């Protein structure tokens, strides 16, 4: 009997803890840069992310090599010259929803949020603050955001010859479809 009660308590704990966490392994992040010379665009459909709705904690992880370009040469340069993905295979973001109280996770709807956190690309970490939205739907949570980053903030060396071809600011688009963990 004691054992049964104990297992019920444990089970309850597990489920209540689980209901607070949402996860995806197929998140989408793309970036886009425009200059008169050239547009740069890459997509990544293999973003792993966890959202904890009790604390507002958000974690994203991507493999640099999972960014896919339309041009093979651009992808090669991105990996070998700029991001050095053999040396720095992952990029991560760890942050928090700063206005968690304005999201009602119990009620379907779209809520505006601000996320503050640290973005690590290569061996450089910078503070990022991004506006976005959280959409509560039945059985899941969608999250969307767009923000800008600058390659120079992440020690990405771009030689003078091609400097004009690569935008000073890249627009990052984040689209996540979370399911309960």
Partner 1 sequence: MKKSYKLALAVFSVIAVAGVLYGLYKYNLKPKDLQKVKPDFVLTATDLLKAFESDENGAAAKFVDKVVEVSGTIQSVKPGENGALTISLNTGNDISSVLCTLQGNAEPVNFKTGEQITIRGNCSGFLMDVLLNNCSVIQK
Radius of gyration of the chain (CA): 19
Pick the binder of partner 1 from 21, 32, 48, 57 (CB under 8 A). Answer: 48
- Do 111 and 134 contact (CB within 8 A), yes or no? yes
Residues in contact with partner 1, shown as a per-residue x/- string from 128 to 167 under the rule CB under 8 A? ----------------------------------------
46 binding partner 1? (CB under 8 A): yes
DSSP state of 82: I
CA dist 156 and 162 (Å) reads 13
Q: Per DSSP, what are the bridge partners of residue 173?
A: 30, 146
- Region of 2-10, 63-71, 127-135, 152-160 interacting with partner 1 (CB under 8 A): 63-71
Q: Which positions ≥6 away from 26 have C-beta within 8 Å?
A: 45, 46, 47, 177
Binding mask 67-106 for partner 1 (x = CB under 8 A): -xxxxxx-x-------------xx----------------
The yes or no reply on residue 32 touching partner 1 (CB under 8 A) is no
Contact 165, 34 (CB under 8 A): no
Among the residue ranges 12-20, 26-34, 107-115, 158-166, the one whose residues contact partner 1 (CB under 8 A) = 26-34
- b (16+ CB within 10 A) / e for 56-71: bbbebbbebbbbebee
Among 98, 114, 142, 175, binds partner 1 (CB under 8 A): 175
Binding footprint of partner 1 on the chain (CB under 8 A): 25-26, 28, 30, 43, 45-46, 48, 61-63, 65-66, 68-73, 75, 89-90, 175
């Amino acid at each position: 009997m004691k054992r049964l009660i104990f297992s019920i308590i444990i089970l309850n704990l597990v489920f209540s803890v689980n209901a607070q966490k949402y996860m995806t392994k197929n998140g989408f992040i793309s970036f886009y840069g425009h200059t008169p010379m050239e547009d740069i665009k890459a997509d990544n459909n293999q973003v792993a992310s966890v959202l904890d709705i009790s604390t507002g904690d958000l974690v994203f992880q991507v493999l640099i090599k999972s960014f896919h370009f339309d041009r093979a040469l651009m992808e090669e340069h991105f990996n070998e010259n700029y991001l050095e993905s053999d040396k720095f295979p992952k990029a991560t973001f760890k942050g928090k929803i700063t206005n968690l109280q304005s999201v009602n996770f119990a009620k379907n709807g779209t809520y505006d949020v601000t996320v503050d956190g640290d973005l690590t690309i290569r061996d450089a970490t910078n503070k990022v603050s991004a506006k976005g939205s959280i959409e509560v739907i039945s059985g899941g949570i969608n999250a969307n955001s767009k923000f800008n980053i600058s390659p120079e903030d992440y020690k990405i060396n771009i030689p003078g010859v091609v400097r004009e071809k690569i935008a000073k600011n890249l627009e990052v688009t984040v689209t996540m479809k979370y399911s309960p963990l």
